[in-house]
Amino acid sequence: MRNTLLLTLTLSGLLFACQDNKKEIKETETVKVEKVDNTEQIERIFGEFKTLYSELLEFKDESDFKKYGFGQGGQYHKWLTKVKDLKENPDSKLLLQKGVVAGELEQLGLAYASSKGKETEVTKSFNKLFSDAISSKPIEKVETASGNSNYDKLKSEYELFGKWKISNTTVKLSYPYEIYKKGNEYIGVIPRDKFKTEILEKSGNKYSVKGNKYGEYYMISSTKEMTLFDKDGELASYGYKATKE
């Protein structure tokens, strides 16, 4: 009898212990979240953006547009409706990974309607922003043997020359910008969202972006103060400013 009672208590203790162990395991379980590749969605929504942008550039100089703009019932009101639909599309937030937003395209269209198709500081700023985004060819992220990205590899092989925050007060845009050097080589880097680089050709305090169709370059003083230019002159008049960090 005493042995039977002892066996019963022992089995009960083991049962409770197993239940406690199961409870502990269950409480410590973590949910694994799979990384989603949304490249196809990004390209699709960006394709819509580029199509609407091209259409705007085609009709902004038309006499009917200059006269009626996006007036209700006019032939260009449909374009404005499409842009607003793009803004409301949940996937439009993916445009941020290309450095643009749908609302900026709407603002550009309204700016052209207001100026009767003429270029203004606002339209030039938006056009530069969109053109850079469309012509940009981000470097594909390739994992090295150590697991580091191209950005990490660049930082390990090159010396940091300087860091800045480039902003545009006209379109309320800002992004980090860094320059790395190795010997006489200089590479400009935008490490936000997509890893983008540009080769810089140094001549005194002038750092020209190699192959840039706008003739963009940076003037950097001995104290690392940066001023932005293109072939038409300083970009401060378009709202661009570089702040040293």
Which pLDDT score, from 0 to 100, does residue 194 have? 61
Mean pLDDT of 20-46: 59
CB 107 within 8 A of CB 115: no
How far, in Å, CA of 138 to CA of 149, rounded? 13
In angstroms, the CA 55 to CA 70 distance is 13
CA dihedral (173, 216, 51, 78) positive or negative: positive
Q: Which residue has the higher pLDDT, 211 or 13?
A: 211
- % of the chain exceeding 90 in pLDDT: 45
Please tell me the distance from the alpha carbon of residue 129 to that of residue 170, in angstroms, as a whole number.
11
pLDDT of residue 192: 67
In terms of phi and psi (left: phi > 0; alpha: psi -120 to 50; beta: otherwise), the region of 117 is left
DSSP state of 55: H
DSSP result, 68-125: HTT-TTSTTHHHHHHHHHHHHSGGGGGGGGGT--HHHHHHHHHHHHHHTT---HHHHH
Q: Average per-residue pLDDT in the chain?
A: 80
Q: What is the pTM of this model?
A: 0.51
Residue labelled with tokens 């850079």: 132
- Chain segment 78-90, per-residue pLDDT in tens: 999 999 999 999 9
Q: Are strands 159-168 and 206-209 parallel, antiparallel or unpaired?
A: unpaired
Q: At what angle do helices 77-88 and 102-115 cross, to 10 degrees?
A: 160
Is the model's pLDDT at 146 over the cut of 50? no
The alpha-carbon radius of gyration of the chain (Å, integer) is 28
Q: Residue ranges of the domains in the chain?
A: 39-135, 150-244
pLDDT of residue 149: 67
For residue range 150-198, list pLDDT tens digits in order: 788 888 899 999 999 988 776 667 788 999 999 999 999 988 656 788 8
How would residue 74 be classed by pLDDT, with cut points 50, 70 and 90? Answer: confident
* DSSP character string of 178-232: EEEEETTEEEEEE-SSS-EEEEEEEETTEEEETT-TT--EEEE-TT--EEEEETT
209-229 b/e (C-beta count within 10 Å ≥ 16 → b) = beeeeeebbbebeeeeebbbb
Confidence of residue 53 (pLDDT cuts 50, 70, 90): very high
Half-sphere exposure of 82 (CA within 13 A, CB side): 16
What are residue 240's DSSP bridge partners?
168
What is the rounded average pLDDT of the residues 20-48? 61
Q: What is the pLDDT of residues 191-233, one digit of tens each?
A: 865 678 889 999 999 999 998 878 899 999 999 999 999 888 8
- Percent of the chain clearing pLDDT 70 (strictly above): 76
Phi/psi at 147 (5° precision): 90, 5
pLDDT for residue 188 = 92
pLDDT at 135: 78
43 is written with which tokens? 């390209």
